[in-house]
Amino acid sequence: MEISVATAFIIVSIMLIRKNNDFAFPIAVAYLIAIVYLAFLVREPMPLYHYSLNLFTAARKGIEFGGGFIPGLLSGNVMITSWASLEGIVLNILLFIPFGFLIPIIWKKRWTWWKVMIVGLAASFCIEIIQLVTRLGFADVDDLINNTIGSGLGYLLYKGCLTHVVNQELRISRKEDKETT
C-alpha cells in the first residue's frame, strides 16, 4: 500500500510540476509533512534504542543466493526469502525520489547528481539520528544508502522530465530583466 501511495505521489508531482512550476513549493511542503509523519508521528517510542550498522541486512534477509552471491547469480539459484524486507528497501528508495527532483527545482542553482545525493544523504542521516535519539524507529545504515539512491534517482527524473520547467522559468526571468532595463 505504501509503495503505491509513494509511486502515485511521485507521478502526480511530476505531472503537476511539468504543467506549472508554481506547484513545486506546495508539493515540497506536502512531501515534508509526509516524511515527518512517516518517520516520526506514526511511531510509538520504543523502550530501547534500536540501530543497525550492518550493511545490506534487509537485502540479505530478502534474497538468498544459493552457493554464494556470484555463483548464485551465474547459476540462477536466487530465491526471494522475505518480500517484506525487499518492500522496505523499495519504500526507502521511493520516499527520497521526490527529494531528488524537488531540491533543484526549489533552490535554483547549479545542481549536479552528486550534490543532490550528498544533500539526500545528509537529510537521511538527520532523520536516522532523530529516530535513534527519540527511539521513534530503527536507525539503520541501509536506510541511508537506500534514501541516497532515491535522491539520485529523483535527480535523474528531474534531468529527464523536469529540467525544461526550470529552464523555462529562467528564460522568463531573463526576459523580464531585459524588459525592465
Contacts of 27 (CB under 8 A, 6+ apart): 13, 16, 17, 98, 102
Half-sphere exposure of 2 (CA within 13 A, CB side): 15
Task: Show the beta-strand stretches assigned E in the chain.
Answer: 51-52, 63-65, 78-80, 139-140
Q: What is the dihedral of CA 116, 119, 88, 51, to 10 degrees?
A: 160
Lowest mean pLDDT among 48-52, 79-83, 92-96, 167-171: 167-171
pLDDT digits (tens, 9 = 90+) for 115-168: 999 999 999 999 999 999 999 988 999 999 999 999 999 999 999 887 766 666
Per-residue pLDDT band at 32 (split at 50, 70, 90): very high
By C-alpha distance, which of 15, 39, 40 is closest to 27? Answer: 15
Per-residue pLDDT band at 179 (split at 50, 70, 90): low
Give residue 181's pLDDT: 62
Please, what is the average pLDDT of the chain? 88
